[in-house]
Amino acid sequence: MLEQFANDVSKGLSYSPKKISSKYFYNKEGDMIFQEIMAMNEYYPTDCEYEILRTYNQDMLEYFYENKKEFDFIELGAGDGKKTKILLKHFVDQKVNFSYYPIDISCYAVNNLKKDIGFILPKLKVKRINREYLEGLEEINSLSKNRKVILFLGSNIGNMTYDEGVLFLKSISLKMKKNDFLLIGFDLQKDPLTILNAYNDKQGITARFNLNLLSRINKDLGGDFNVNQFYHYPVYDPHIGEAKSYIVSKVSQDVHVSKLDKTFHFKEGEVIYTEISKKYSIQMIENMSKEAGFEIKNNFIDKRQYFTNSLWIKT
Ligand SMILES: C[S@@+](CC[C@H](N)C(=O)[O-])C[C@H]1O[C@@H](n2cnc3c(N)ncnc32)[C@H](O)[C@@H]1O
């Protein structure tokens, strides 16, 4: 994984404009800062998803367990699984026969999650998968033939453009069988300031999260970024429903990364593009499900209509 990070940073800082994938936010520090983000008032998606999962956990179960057959409950990018635990606990209380497979590229995330679930739900069968999404699904396919119920919560899908999202979901679909389920979180289009504030909190938590990418390069790849010489710059374009985050160089400067044996020049005001958070309309979600080979069974939506957990079945 370190080799891939090194290659991606080397390529990304050589592009014009410079670019590093948001998947590299999540090292140990990044995981911890993301937990602070989820607890922020401005970061509404977490509350919305809590509300949806609490309100509709039984309705969801009725889809997943309609034939009372054991299923595999697979989570892509599980993180700390805080919201998922609402469903896990409900299913265990209902004596449902299922196994939980959290997939995450962050080994801290999957290790902590497994430990945590061991305490609160000791009887639940959990197998942690420390891999990229698709590799993780491949591994699970070699272990089990049960019906799959795949979770993709927290608007991780928003970290892709619409077209990238369709391609990604098509490749997920290839690893599924007919009638397997996919439950995806989509952040819905809404008041632009509400959206922007979620990436631009006054306490500076989202700024720390974004800039931690530079600290990670320093730590893992021997970079000499002076993090104070950069700032976090988020924008939201309501026309296309895209929030984007950038890191901006405050001055003209050179940064050397010893493990890459390379020096990168930054002009004053030059940016690194680090994250897209795409916002959806219900119509776009319908189009996307069809293009990717699924049918929507239900859109579970919170009271404010900020967010949906959309339940799809593979056709
Ligand atoms: C924004 S957090 C969301 C966590 C959780 N799903 C939630 O809703 O709270 C994204 C998680 O996905 C993981 N992740 C990001 N890209 C990944 C990839 N390509 N393969 C596997 N995990 C990934 C990160 O390590 C992180 O734990």
Q: Structure pTM?
A: 0.93
C-alpha 308 – ligand 1 centre gap (Å): 18
| Alpha helices for the chain (secondary structure H) | 2-12, 28-38, 44-64, 84-93, 107-120, 133-143, 162-174, 192-198, 205-221, 282-292
Q: Is 25 in the pocket of ligand 1 (CB under 6 A)?
A: no
List b or e across 260-296, with b for residues whose CB sees 16 or more CB atoms inside 10 angstroms: beeebebeeebbbbbbebbbbebebbeebbeebbbeb
Residues above pLDDT 90, as percent of the chain: 97
- The protein residue with its alpha carbon nearest to ligand 1, atom 15, reads 23
Could you give the CA distance from residue 120 to residue 295 in angstroms, rounded to a whole number? 34
Q: Is 52 in the pocket of ligand 1 (CB under 6 A)?
A: no
Segment 283-313, tens digit of pLDDT: 999 999 999 999 999 999 999 999 999 999 9
Contact 254, 229 (CB under 8 A): no
Q: How confident is the model at residue 20 (pLDDT cuts 50, 70, 90)?
A: very high
In the predicted structure, residue 135 carries a pLDDT above the cut 90: yes
Start-to-end CA span in the chain (Å): 34
**For residue 154, which atom of ligand 1 is closest to its CA?**
8
Q: Is 12 in the pocket of ligand 1 (CB under 6 A)?
A: no
- The closest alpha carbon to 49, from 303, 278, 276, belongs to 303
How far is CA 292 from its chain centroid?
A: 19
C-alpha 177 – ligand 1 centre gap (Å): 24
C-alpha 236 – ligand 1 centre gap (Å): 22
Q: How confident is the model at residue 247 (pLDDT cuts 50, 70, 90)?
A: very high
**For residue 133, which atom of ligand 1 is closest to its CA?**
20
Segment 92-118, tens digit of pLDDT: 999 999 999 999 988 889 999 999 999
pLDDT for 12 equals 98
Segment 175-224, tens digit of pLDDT: 999 999 999 999 999 999 999 999 999 999 999 999 999 999 999 999 99
C-alpha 76 – ligand 1 centre gap (Å): 7
In the predicted structure, residue 155 carries a pLDDT above the cut 90: no
Q: Is 132 in the pocket of ligand 1 (CB under 6 A)?
A: yes
Contact 129, 144 (CB under 8 A): no
C-alpha 204 – ligand 1 centre gap (Å): 21
C-alpha 19 – ligand 1 centre gap (Å): 19
User: Encoding tokens for residue 107?
Assistant: 């080994």
Could you give the CA distance from residue 182 to residue 294 in angstroms, rounded to a whole number? 9
Dihedral pair phi/psi, residue 245, rounded to 5°: -120, 140
Beta strands at 307-314 and 181-187: parallel, antiparallel or unpaired:
antiparallel
Q: What average pLDDT does the structure give for the chain?
A: 96
**For residue 152, which atom of ligand 1 is closest to its CA?**
6
Could you give the CA distance from residue 126 to residue 130 in angstroms, rounded to a whole number? 13
**For residue 83, which atom of ligand 1 is closest to its CA?**
9
Q: Is 28 in the pocket of ligand 1 (CB under 6 A)?
A: no
- The protein residue with its alpha carbon nearest to ligand 1, atom 2, reads 79
Q: Is 47 in the pocket of ligand 1 (CB under 6 A)?
A: no
C-alpha 231 – ligand 1 centre gap (Å): 24
Largest alpha-carbon pair distance within the chain? 63
User: Encoding tokens for residue 175?
Assistant: 């690893």
Q: What is the mean pLDDT of residues 49-77?
A: 97
Q: How confident is the model at residue 250 (pLDDT cuts 50, 70, 90)?
A: very high
- The protein residue with its alpha carbon nearest to ligand 1, atom 10, reads 77
Could you give the CA distance from residue 257 to residue 75 in angstroms, rounded to a whole number? 34
Q: Is 45 in the pocket of ligand 1 (CB under 6 A)?
A: no
Q: Is 154 in the pocket of ligand 1 (CB under 6 A)?
A: yes
pLDDT for 1 equals 78
